[in-house]
Amino acid sequence: MQPSSESTPPIDLAQSLVLPVIAEELRVEKQTVETGRVVLHKTVHVDTQIVDIPLRVEQVQVQRVAVNRYVEEAPAVRYEGDLMIVPVLREELVVTKRLLLVEELHVHTQALTTHEPQTVELRREEIHYERVPSPAATGAADPAAASQAT
């Protein structure tokens, strides 16, 4: 079958030919959908343990040393190594007043480290979880399908 020359006019190639073009565009949107929930159960356990920790104890020994010597002025507290010497004075009434060094206190400090077991309570927590379906998820699995149906 040949096309009839009367219905279609001949095309002039010198004229420009315009063809319509169709373009599609895509628009993507997101929305948050609750698919389930989580229930947490917390349990606190208390464990009693005995721990042995070092404790520092200082013991002080005081020794009285008789001196009985007259001095012109009060001597200052002095140290000889880890020994602290504290002078003890007494005034005596004589025709002239003078100081008599009666005694010295020799204070010796000694540091000791001991171990004494102590009972302490330690706590630890456990978390258990359980996933439960969302109320929205039980009504319609796909919210987009539900909105298209209305």
| Residue 99 lies in domain | 37-132
Residue 14 lies in a domain: no
User: How does the average pLDDT of the chain come out, rounded?
Assistant: 81
Q: At residue 14, what is the residue type? A: A
Residue 49 lies in a domain: yes
What's the structural domain count of the chain? 1
Q: At residue 36, what is the residue type? A: G
What pLDDT, on the 0 to 100 scale, is given for residue 89? Answer: 94
Query: What digits encode the pLDDT tens for the residues 110-147?
Result: 888 888 888 889 898 898 888 888 776 665 445 444 44
Give the Å distances, CA to CA, from 137 to 34, 123, 130, 133. 7, 38, 16, 6
Q: What angle do CA 4, 8, 14 make, to 5 degrees?
A: 130
Residue 122 lies in a domain: yes
CB 62 within 8 A of CB 105: yes
Query: What digits encode the pLDDT tens for the residues 82-117?
Result: 899 999 999 887 777 778 899 998 988 888 888 888
For residue 104, what are its two tokens? 């010295």
Residue 146 lies in a domain: no
Q: For residues 67 and 89, give the distance between their C-alpha atoms in angstroms, rounded to a whole number.
A: 10
